[in-house]
A and B are shown apart, each in its own frame.
Chain A
């Protein structure tokens, strides 16, 4: 390669970086909620090359910075929805457009990497990010062990580009013994225990396994291999459990096997809040359900999140309004879940943290997303008011420093039919 070519290449790379990471952006004058620290009145968030470089009240703004005036507005980290099928399911049912559920003979799908079926061009992604949700934990569902989920940034680029962390969690449930292919809770737990025993044995006896000298295993090799990071405490094990006694069973399993437990749903968590707190196990719970919809969730109540916080439990908030309406198009409603959590006793600061920094921490990505700090990805949202209020809109959404300006399919439909009969003209 000659010097001229190298120069040309260097220039080209430089130009590309400038185009992609691009400009320096200064979001000025807003009420800034870094989450990692106290709010800053009249604060500035400075973004360069896709990263946050400064946050504060007295940030020097470079002359070449593109300014975004956030006077009178609220500035937060991009919101993180900690668990749903966004990007995995385009239509709930009846359309063969659902990639969230693996099929296995034994209802154990640990090797299922749900993000391998992630559709970067899901129409729900623009509809979600225009409401200020910039990251999402996209997880599989079904069976006993549903598979592995990924934390993604809500870009519409490619799987590889969108992934913040994959795998971010292993997902299982112990609340529904039928879905687990068992007939009773005790059998479900025995099955899960056998899997954990096998994974533990396998991790210590790979060579014997390869020589065919291992003891008989309950699941195939790929499943065992996938469970190794779980059993070694490297990959969080997100277990959905609602009944207080099931939650206690999950806590006991985590203690016995030493895995890193995150409790999901935890409808009756408030009944054993002190035990969850003592075990230092974080929970992902909703704030919009109070219906005793099964005998395993008779204690469901809307102030669960607040009561868990009060007991000292780390809480992230997920959608649980029920009826499936927390999925797909309504992944965007996580901010109202937070508002309702506040309505039922959680502090506003805790609620914002529960949909930003807490999920980022739980999934091992707090060094990249979830707060407004230098060095973090510039996932930033400007709101024209309190983000938990219905009247509030996201006026500017940045993901990795790029302002998101595309129009969702829902917006296109409304534009088309705002005047009737429709003109059927572009876009």
Chain B
């Protein structure tokens, strides 16, 4: 008899989502209109364009965890000076205690309690989980075959209607590799073929059957925009834009439409008078940017183009959260600082196209020195596994330029600063009491080429352990396809000099 109510329920859901249909009495619209008696019709959520709508809600639940102490460890907190021989207690998914010594009463008490896992961190380092604000893992998965190439909706130069999460394949074997590199949160973006590429999604790097199960609860969406060579290369022979001036005309045309759309919907959402305006997925996303609910992540290499994108943002009243691939950010670091725009950069990748010609290793340090929120990013499934090494290169370059940069400062470039770019810095990105227990235990100084991640926790749950093959997530794809590490596996370093 269970089948009948279930079928009924499905039928009722179907009615509720049909555009303009009268909702059955047993269901409520997703968002009940404000008290407004002139308005009689009720609408399914799919009919309305409302701020902060969440039609693909996160189903992420933290993995089971045990209270865990890591003690006698060097803690790079990303919130101040390092703590030598410190200790942390992870409990109920949060960082409960950060102590200057293993003898601190709260640590000692927790250690004495049954069921607490105690890890000796002597000679090791602890950092916040690393954050990559620019990934295409899942939407450009491995193997990189045409059938799974889902990162660029290259059918129109402006596609704010597409959402990266609808391309993300949770079984991409690149996810567990990023996790093994200490990355706990990443923003997955559409590609850069389009002027406006679509919505990003922020995920926790965890095994899941669905992308919803990876989505970072409460994280804002991002909007991917792209400057320069890519859009004009892709569309130059396909109706344009074929020039940089065509690019700019393209952005502006979109924002003009978006502003009109936002105005209509904001008015209707306020008074619910008459029929609602037509819903448009593309304009809806842009309207959310104009309302400040979606963060703009702008792929832009050249300094002069970044300055123009800033003017466009001023013209239409939105904010650019961060420029990505900002190879020339060092040329306008003062402007970025004044505007409060972050710079997400590589350590030293450059030369592969004209707009990447002026890449310098000092970029990150120069930009940080000017007071900009500077961060490393990967855009690459290989680079994401070594964000610490990329930061190490940028740190060395900064010091060679004469800047007095501590490792305690440099660690921010891969933790709290990218957390800020995602507007998640109140939850992740530093080792402070109350923050999510996303932490990485390193075999040594994370800025040494010889150092490995040893363990990675997300929300207090141990999700990667280099010493335990059972704690090394293998995606469905890998089973049977990717050879298991054999007994010959070398996971520890060779003899050093």
A287-300 vs B, CB cutoff 8 Å, 1 = contact: the mask equals 01111111100110
A33 vs B360: C-alpha distance when bound (angstroms): 30
User: Known interface pairs A291-B173, A414-B360. Does A346 touch B494 (Cβ–Cβ under 8 Å)?
Assistant: yes
A80 vs B447: C-alpha distance when bound (angstroms): 25
A-B contact count (CB 8 A): 182
Contacts of A299 on B, CB cut-off 8 Å?
482-483
User: Known interface pairs A344-B493, A348-B496. Does A91 touch B333 (Cβ–Cβ under 8 Å)?
Assistant: no
Q: A93 is contacted by which of B353, B399, B485, B497 (Cβ under 8 Å)?
A: B353
User: Known interface pairs A94-B353, A325-B380, A329-B359. Does A343 touch B143 (Cβ–Cβ under 8 Å)?
Assistant: no
B497 contacts A343, C-beta separation under 8 Å = no
Contacts of B177 on A, CB cut-off 8 Å?
290-291
Instruction: Check: B452 CB closer than 8 A to any chain A CB.
Output: yes
Q: Closest CB-CB distance, A306 to chain B, in whole Å?
A: 5
B492 contacts A292, C-beta separation under 8 Å = no
Most A CB atoms within 10 A — which of B229, B351, B392, B477? Answer: B351
Instruction: Check: A390 CB closer than 8 A to any chain B CB.
Output: yes
B382 contacts A289, C-beta separation under 8 Å = yes
A390 contacts B395, C-beta separation under 8 Å = yes
Instruction: Check: B491 CB closer than 8 A to any chain A CB.
Output: yes
Q: Closest CB-CB distance, B130 to chain A, in whole Å?
A: 16
A322 vs B452: C-alpha distance when bound (angstroms): 20
User: Known interface pairs A306-B490, A328-B351, A393-B400. Does A342 touch B330 (Cβ–Cβ under 8 Å)?
Assistant: no
Chain A residues numbered 366-396 whose CB sits less than 8 Å from any CB in chain B: 386, 388-393
B93-105 vs A, CB cutoff 8 Å, 1 = contact: the mask equals 0000000000000
Contacts of A422 on B, CB cut-off 8 Å?
331
Instruction: Check: A340 CB closer than 8 A to any chain B CB.
Output: yes
Q: Which residue of B lies closest to A346 (CB)?
A: B494
Instruction: Check: B5 CB closer than 8 A to any chain A CB.
Output: no
Instruction: Check: A270 CB closer than 8 A to any chain B CB.
Output: yes
Contacts of B353 on A, CB cut-off 8 Å?
91-95
Interface of B is mostly: loop
A414 contacts B349, C-beta separation under 8 Å = no
B497 contacts A386, C-beta separation under 8 Å = yes
Instruction: Check: A330 CB closer than 8 A to any chain B CB.
Output: yes
Contacts of A330 on B, CB cut-off 8 Å?
348-349
Contacts of A393 on B, CB cut-off 8 Å?
396, 400
Chain B residues numbered 350-403 whose CB sits less than 8 Å from any CB in chain A: 350-354, 357-362, 366, 370, 379-383, 385-386, 389, 392-393, 395-396, 399-401
Instruction: Check: B56 CB closer than 8 A to any chain A CB.
Output: no
B401 contacts A298, C-beta separation under 8 Å = no
Instruction: Check: A323 CB closer than 8 A to any chain B CB.
Output: yes
A91 contacts B481, C-beta separation under 8 Å = no
User: Known interface pairs A94-B353, A328-B351, A420-B334. Does A323 touch B451 (Cβ–Cβ under 8 Å)?
Assistant: no
Chain B residues numbered 154-203 whose CB sits less than 8 Å from any CB in chain A: 173-174, 177
A293 contacts B489, C-beta separation under 8 Å = no
A342 contacts B450, C-beta separation under 8 Å = yes
B361 contacts A91, C-beta separation under 8 Å = no
Q: B497 is contacted by which of A290, A346, A349, A410 (Cβ under 8 Å)?
A: A349
Instruction: Check: A339 CB closer than 8 A to any chain B CB.
Output: yes
Chain B residues numbered 192-231 whose CB sits less than 8 Å from any CB in chain A: 229
Instruction: Check: A112 CB closer than 8 A to any chain B CB.
Output: no
A420 vs B361: C-alpha distance when bound (angstroms): 17
Q: Which residue of B lies closest to A295 (CB)?
A: B143
A250-288 vs B, CB cutoff 8 Å, 1 = contact: the mask equals 000000000000000000001100000000000000001
A336 contacts B381, C-beta separation under 8 Å = no
Contacts of B497 on A, CB cut-off 8 Å?
33, 39, 348-349, 386
A414 contacts B494, C-beta separation under 8 Å = no
Q: Closest CB-CB distance, A395 to chain B, in whole Å?
A: 11
Chain B interface size, as a band, is: 35 or more
Contacts of A99 on B, CB cut-off 8 Å?
none
Instruction: Check: B47 CB closer than 8 A to any chain A CB.
Output: no
A80-93 vs B, CB cutoff 8 Å, 1 = contact: the mask equals 00000000001111
Q: Which residue of B lies closest to A294 (CB)?
A: B143
User: Known interface pairs A333-B348, A393-B400. Does A321 touch B143 (Cβ–Cβ under 8 Å)?
Assistant: no
Contacts of A92 on B, CB cut-off 8 Å?
351-353
How many residues belonging to A are interface residues under a CB distance threshold of 8 Å? 65
Instruction: Check: A124 CB closer than 8 A to any chain B CB.
Output: yes
Instruction: Check: A176 CB closer than 8 A to any chain B CB.
Output: no
Instruction: Check: B55 CB closer than 8 A to any chain A CB.
Output: no
Q: A321 is contacted by which of B233, B382, B483, B495 (Cβ under 8 Å)?
A: B382
B451 contacts A291, C-beta separation under 8 Å = no
Q: Closest CB-CB distance, B313 to chain A, in whole Å?
A: 21
Instruction: Check: A198 CB closer than 8 A to any chain B CB.
Output: no
A322 vs B361: C-alpha distance when bound (angstroms): 19
Q: Which residue of B lies closest to A340 (CB)?
A: B449
A414 contacts B401, C-beta separation under 8 Å = yes
A303 vs B359: C-alpha distance when bound (angstroms): 30
B488 contacts A390, C-beta separation under 8 Å = no
Contacts of A94 on B, CB cut-off 8 Å?
229, 233, 353-354
B495 contacts A347, C-beta separation under 8 Å = yes
Q: Which residue of A lies closest to B399 (CB)?
A: A391
Instruction: Check: A327 CB closer than 8 A to any chain B CB.
Output: yes
Question: What are 30 A-B residue pairs whose CB atoms fall within 8 Å in the complex?
Answer: A91-B352, A92-B351, A92-B352, A289-B382, A291-B142, A292-B482, A294-B144, A298-B143, A298-B482, A298-B483, A306-B490, A307-B490, A321-B383, A324-B352, A325-B349, A325-B380, A325-B383, A328-B351, A336-B393, A343-B452, A343-B494, A345-B491, A346-B494, A348-B494, A348-B496, A390-B392, A390-B393, A393-B400, A417-B366, A420-B334
Known: A329-B350, A420-B331. 8 other contacts (CB 8 A): A91-B351, A292-B482, A294-B143, A298-B481, A299-B482, A322-B382, A327-B351, A328-B352
**B residues in contact (CB < 8 Å) with A:** 142-145, 173-174, 177, 229, 233, 330-334, 346, 348-354, 357-362, 366, 370, 379-383, 385-386, 389, 392-393, 395-396, 399-401, 447-452, 477-478, 481-483, 485, 488-497
* Top 3 A-B residue pairs of the complex, sorted by shortest distance between their CB atoms: A345-B490, A339-B449, A92-B352
